[in-house]
Amino acid sequence: MHTQRPTHNTPAARLAASPSSSFSLHGQIKSTSPLSNAAPGKTSTLSAPPSCEPFPSKPSLPASPPPLTNASPFFSIASAVLLVFPFQNAPKSTFSSALFIAPLICGLATLAALFLWQFYTERRYPHLASALPLVLLRNRVYASAVLHTMLTGFPYLLAVYAFPVRFQVVYGHSARDAGLMMLPMLAASAIGTMTAGALNGGKGKVRFLETLLMACALIMVGCGLETTAGETGEVEAKVLGFLAFIGLGFGLSAAGGTMLAGVEAPVWEHGESLYLLAIFKC
**Confidence check: pLDDT of 249 > 80:** yes
User: Rounded to an integer, what distance in angstroms lies between the CA atom of residue 86 and that of residue 92?
Assistant: 10
Terminal Cα distance for the chain, rounded: 100
DSSP 16-34: HH-TTEEE-TTSEEEE--T
User: Rounded to an integer, what distance in angstroms lies between the CA atom of residue 89 and that of residue 83?
Assistant: 11
pLDDT band, residue 64 (cuts 50/70/90):
low
DSSP 90: G
Q: What's the whole-number mean pLDDT along residues 143-152? A: 87
Better-predicted residue by pLDDT, 39 or 123? 123
In the chain, % of residues over pLDDT 90:
16
Phi, psi (rounded to 5 degrees) for 251 = -60, -45
Task: Count CB-CB contacts under 10 A for residue 238.
Answer: 13
Q: 237-264 and 183-200 are packed helices; what angle lies between their axes, rounded to 10 degrees? A: 30
In the chain, % of residues over pLDDT 70:
73
Sequence letter at residue 127? H
Better-predicted residue by pLDDT, 258 or 12? 258
DSSP 170: T
pLDDT band, residue 106 (cuts 50/70/90):
very high
Q: What's the whole-number mean pLDDT along residues 10-32? A: 44
User: Rounded to an integer, what distance in angstroms lies between the CA atom of residue 178 and that of residue 8?
Assistant: 103
**Cβ burial, residue 14 (10 Å; 0-12/13-18/19+):** exposed
pLDDT band, residue 207 (cuts 50/70/90):
confident
pLDDT band, residue 69 (cuts 50/70/90):
low
Residue 8 CB contacts under 8 Å (≥ 6 apart), including other chains: 14, 17
User: Rounded to an integer, what distance in angstroms lies between the CA atom of residue 233 and that of residue 237?
Assistant: 12
pLDDT at res. 5: 44
The pLDDT tens digits for 212-240 are 999 999 999 999 998 888 777 788 888 88
Better-predicted residue by pLDDT, 4 or 218? 218
- pTM of the predicted model as reported, rounded to 2 decimal places: 0.64
Q: Starting at the edge strand that comes first in sequence, how are the strands of the sheet with 21-23 ordered?
A: 21-23, 28-31, 44-47
Give the residues across from 31 on adjacent strands.
21, 44
**Confidence check: pLDDT of 248 > 60:** yes
Is the CB of residue 141 less than 8 Å from the CB of residue 257?
no
